[in-house]
Amino acid sequence: MNYITPCLYAFGASLAFAIVFNIPRNKLLLAALGGMLGQLVYVLFQLVISNDVLLYLLATIAISLYAEVLARLTKSPTTIYLAVALIPLVPGGGIYYTMLYFINGEIDLGISTGIHTLLISGALAVGIIMVSSTVNLVRKVMLKGSSKIGKKLNHGKKT
Amino acid sequence: MTINQLSHVAMEMGVILLSNGAETYRVEESMHRICIALGAKEAEIFVVPTTIIISVTLEGELPLTRTRRIHSRKIDLTKVSEINHLSRQICFEPTNYKDLLAEIRRIDTIPSYPYYLHVLAFAFISQMFTLFFGGSLMDSCVGFLIGIGIKLQMDIMGRFEANVFFTNIVGGLIVSTVALTAAGLGLSTNMDTIIIGSIMTLVPGLAITNSIRDIIAGDYLSGLTKGIEALLIGAAIAAGVAVPLSLLRPFWGG
């Protein structure tokens, strides 16, 4: 039960964000499912891994893969799915507590929380970069491969 | 199609893409694709978040350059998706100038979701995130109200073209003032959760995503600009939240 409810809340929030971003009507649910997926991966891996920066990285990799695959399937831009799914992973709490420690004069705690928040943001960026770059590379290799095969086939026909 | 019409069509499509929240590399790629599909010999396009410059060359004609400055940006991914689709379609079946322009007009006037739905969405985001970060039902209702307030405040300030950072500072002010008041009146016990949940409505999610994707695509200029924008908005929210927390706390005792 404790694992399911955060995912449902993430789904609801992502759905609302999809409306704010004016995502096409028939893709609203798919986009919101991405937000839920990120949370699901986070919660499931929490049982095995205790380092939360790593957890954020894994969750981002999952939603990026989801977004890239869906973008190809539905022939629409990747951003539609990625931007919505990423929002539940944004460290809003980290930003708030960093600020709170600073105004309370607890500079040490503020700095360590701030750096932790920055690390999480870094994990989000690295996760997206890893998946996007790999997908691009694979697509280019496949395009080159298929054109080579095509040339060979044409060549074979001619001779 | 004449060089004038060609560059006009490409520019119109580029403007819709850029002003509705597409990544920079997508604007450049789409415009280039359209120009080549419509018969240009060469097309050089340069896009930054506020400007589009396009230079087209046709066989046997002098090159033509157009520049357009983008003043207002909003987020409407339906339009981005439709223009993206149209630009791919043109490659397969070239259309004439009039039809193309009519299609672009149609996409440009696609209505977004009704206003009340946007307000409800804001309220819902803030309510869901308050629950998500561990708030009670009562906390989430306060979050719901804050969401409505933020949406109205952002629209009013947007109408007067207030700058983004100031809008976010005021947004943060509203969030923490209402949360503090709720805590002071004894409606809620965890003010922190309400604040964290409600500031999620202000988080620039699309700017973060697009800045990362632009940097991957090699558009460092646009990527860094948007990344800095996202960072400054984050700082503005934190600053806005901090003011009532440090000024009002002694009086409310929240």
B12 with B41, same domain: the answer is yes
Residue B62 belongs to what domain range?
3-108
The alpha-carbon gap from B46 to the nearest alpha carbon of chain A, in Å, equals 20
Last residue of a domain, one of B74, B108, B142: B108
Interface of B with A in 168-227 (CB under 8 A): 192, 195-197, 199-200, 203, 205-206, 208-210, 212-213, 215-216
Number of domains forming the structure of chain B = 2
Per-residue pLDDT tens digits for B131-147: 998 888 889 999 999 99
pLDDT of residue A159: 35
pLDDT of residue A36: 93
In chain B, alpha helices (H):
3-19, 24-37, 77-92, 97-108, 115-132, 137-159, 164-184, 191-199, 205-217, 220-252
pLDDT of residue B254: 47
Distance, in Å, from the CA atom of B100 to the CA atom of B115, rounded to the nearest integer, reads 30
B123 with B104, same domain: the answer is no
Distance, in Å, from the CA atom of A133 to the CA atom of A139, rounded to the nearest integer, reads 10
Per-residue pLDDT tens digits for B92-121: 887 888 888 999 999 999 988 999 999 999
Contact B77 A75 (CB under 8 A): no
Last residue of a domain, one of B108, B139, B170: B108
B93 with B123, same domain: the answer is no
What does the block give as tokens for B124? 């819902």
Run of H or E including A20: helix A4-20
pLDDT of residue B253: 57
What does the block give as tokens for B87? 């630009």
Within 10 A of B71 (CB to CB), how many other CB atoms are there? 8
Tell me which chain A residues have a C-beta less than 8 angstroms from the C-beta of B132.
Answer: 6, 9-10, 13, 88
pLDDT of residue B135: 86
B86 with B37, same domain: the answer is yes
B43 with B61, same domain: the answer is yes
B157 with B236, same domain: the answer is yes
Distance, in Å, from the CA atom of B9 to the CA atom of B17, rounded to the nearest integer, reads 13
Contacts of A55 (CB under 8 A, 6+ apart): A42, A45, A46, A49
Domain boundaries, chain A: 4-158
B83 with B129, same domain: the answer is no
pLDDT of residue A2: 75
B126 with B46, same domain: the answer is no
Tell me which chain A residues have a C-beta less than 8 angstroms from the C-beta of B238.
Answer: 95-96, 98-99
Distance, in Å, from the CA atom of A26 to the CA atom of A23, rounded to the nearest integer, reads 8
Amino acid at A57: L
Tell me which chain B residues have a C-beta less than 8 angstroms from the C-beta of A98.
Answer: 238
In B72-114, alpha helices (H):
77-92, 97-108
Distance, in Å, from the CA atom of B57 to the CA atom of A70, rounded to the nearest integer, reads 37
B134 with B227, same domain: the answer is yes
Interface of B with A in 38-77 (CB under 8 A): 75-77
B134 with B101, same domain: the answer is no
**A154 in B contact zone (CB under 8 Å):** no
Contacts of A61 (CB under 8 A, 6+ apart): A127, A130, A131
In this complex, how many residue pairs, one in chain A and one in chain B, have their CB atoms less than 8 Å apart? Answer: 143
The alpha-carbon gap from A159 to the nearest alpha carbon of chain B, in Å, equals 30
B104 with B119, same domain: the answer is no
Query: Looking at the DSSP assignment, which residues form a beta bridge with residue B53?
Result: B46, B67
B201 with B104, same domain: the answer is no
Last residue of a domain, one of B63, B91, B108: B108
- Asked whether A79 and B77 are in contact (CB, 8 A), the reply is yes
The alpha-carbon gap from A153 to the nearest alpha carbon of chain B, in Å, equals 24
The alpha-carbon gap from A47 to the nearest alpha carbon of chain B, in Å, equals 19
| ipTM of the complex in this document | 0.88
The alpha-carbon gap from A40 to the nearest alpha carbon of chain B, in Å, equals 13
**What average pLDDT does chain B have?**
89
Contact B203 A21 (CB under 8 A): no
